[in-house]
Structure 1
Amino acid sequence: MVLLQDSKQAPPRDVVELTGVTKVHPGGVRALDGVSAGFGPGTFTAVMGPSGSGKSTLLHCAAGLDRPTSGRVVLAGQDIATLREPKLTAVRRAHVGFVFQSFNLVDALSVWDNILLPQQLAGQRPDKKWARELVERVGLAGREKARPGQLSGGQQQRVALARALAGRPAVIFGDEPTGALDLGTGREVLALLRRFVDEVGATFVMVTHDPAAAAWADRVVFLADGRLAGELFAPSAQQVSARMVELTR
């Protein structure tokens, strides 16, 4: 459970902060153009925009999966844009969780072993009590010994979510986390994401093309041509759709 901040204390710093981030791909393609954005603790942010607007590049730079051409990316108090391997890998493993559209589970491992794998790869001692609680929270109690191939797509994404949370990361990045799921199953996964933000204080940043998915977020950040194109707070799916229509005209 998250403790409320004393009202006299300064507001918490953003978990992830991008300042003037530009990313130029080979051939001169400018995927991001001077983007500045922050993602605070205990918040759920959706990132949206037309195809080619820079959504995935923003996520990759913010997560330390890609390096910006210029600008700063501060993650958990460290400027990761300047870090070299293997220090960058160590910071990413300590502070970042990932949930992908394709689940990215290891087929040869059980549910339980998949959940603990990132901590083991990072040389950390897994918190098995927290992992057991996560299994309960995502509704997979009794399926710990199952292999991914024995689970439905929604169940596999629940395993991926528990895996992302197992190391108590500062932030979790999702790249179309419900894109491979049917409507009902996707809604169940989004409800879980929302609960982890509200009840555990998790921080989620999710790239999505789906206005209905974005409506679960506290804030929607829009990109167009590699630049910020506005934001909406506590939006409805209709408001998100209308904004997307404007951006694609």
Structure 2
Amino acid sequence: MRLRQPTPATTSVPPEQRPAVVLTEVSKLHPGGVRALDAVSLTVERGTFLAVMGPSGSGKSTLMNIAAGLDVPTSGTVEVDGRPVERLDETARAVLRRERVGFVFQSYQLLPSLSLLDNITLPLRLAGRTADQSWLDELIDRVGLRDRTGHRPTELSGGQQQRAAVARALITRPAVVFADEPTGALDSHSAQDVLRLLRNLVEDLHQTVVMVTHDASAAARAQHVVVMRDGRIVEGQVA
């Protein structure tokens, strides 16, 4: 169950046994005293697919931003892959995001001047690393874009662009992938392809995925679902 009181992860625990993400009593106050998160505790076990649902303003995007190290809580603790995110400065958080976190956005965010292959490997180049060719080949085959690697994003369909974005998110072998409304800009057929891909990555590769969505049919593809309202988790279930 996703709502159990989390036991803080430590770097002394073997990586394969650590939860991917642990939030403990996390609150976030915006200027003016607006409480975006209210004492949220959540553990995301490694190798699971969690969907976070809720209406606009429920706090789900704030939860994702804090869990991914894009923002810091006003109070509480956050651990990603055993590292205490709220204790890191911005430079260290940037390194953590680059090396241990993958992102998939609704708008794809592929660079139009680069080929599909260069878009997928961009996180490695920014980190000064070269691609593991066998891993790169596996990702390209898994997303079904072997014959599109030389194309630019504008030459691809929305579904193909989003599948390329999934491969880009995975190229660094992250501890967790955060997907923010990954099917929001897709037709129903392409959306199901992307959701099937995410579920298969969890089941086949033991990848951890946290997906923020307002779409109940998309959330149904996840193994676990939590529902947020007014900055709190009000419902959790095991699918």
Match of 1:129 among 119, 126, 134: 134
State how 1:45-60 maps to structure 2 within 5 Å: 45-60=50-65
Aligned to 2:123: 118
Per-residue deviation, 1:39: 0.5
1:12 positional shift: 2.5
Report whether the alignment pairs 1:185 with 2:198. Answer: no
Q: How much has 1:124 moved relative to structure 2?
A: 2.3
Corresponding position of 2:166: 161
- Tell me the amino acid that sits aligned with residue 97 of structure 1: G
Q: Distance in 2 between matches of 1:144 and 1:153?
A: 15
| Deviations 1:76-101, CA, capped at 9 Å, x for gaps | 11101110021111111110000000
C-alpha distance in 1, partners of 2:35/2:128?
37
1:230: how far off? 1.6
Distance, in Å, in 1 between the alignment partners of 2:109 and 2:148 is: 18
- Rounded to whole Å, the distance in 2 between the matches of 1:130 and 1:93 is 17
Q: Structure 1: how far apart are the matches of 2:45 and 2:129?
A: 26
- RMSD of aligned residue pairs (Cα, Å): 1.2
Post-superposition shift, 1:13?
2.5
Q: Distance in 1 between matches of 2:232 and 2:171?
A: 33
Shift of 1:22: 0.5
Q: Which amino acid aligns with 2:55?
A: P
Deviations 1:114-162 (A, max 9, x none): 0000111122222222111111111101111000000000000010000
Aligned to 2:202: 197
Any residues of structure 2 matched to 1:17-36 within 5 Å, and which?
A: 17-36=22-41
Q: Name the TM-score, length of structure 1 as normaliser.
A: 0.88
- Check conservation: 1:21, 1:73, Cα contact below 8 A: yes
| Aligned with 2:83 (options 69, 78, 81) | 78
Matched, 1:140 2:149: no
* Matched residue, 2:177: 172
1:227 matched residue in structure 2: 232
3-state secondary structure, aligned to 1:142: helix
Contact kept in structure 2, 1:176 and 1:208, CA below 8 Å: yes
Q: Distance in 2 between matches of 1:122 and 1:36?
A: 32
TM-score scaled by structure 2? 0.92
Contact kept? 1:21, 1:70, Cα under 8 Å: yes
The corresponding residue for 2:113 is 108
Equivalent of residue 95 in structure 1, options 81, 95, 100: 100
**1:127–1:167 Cα contact (<8 Å) kept:** no
How many pairs were matched up?
225
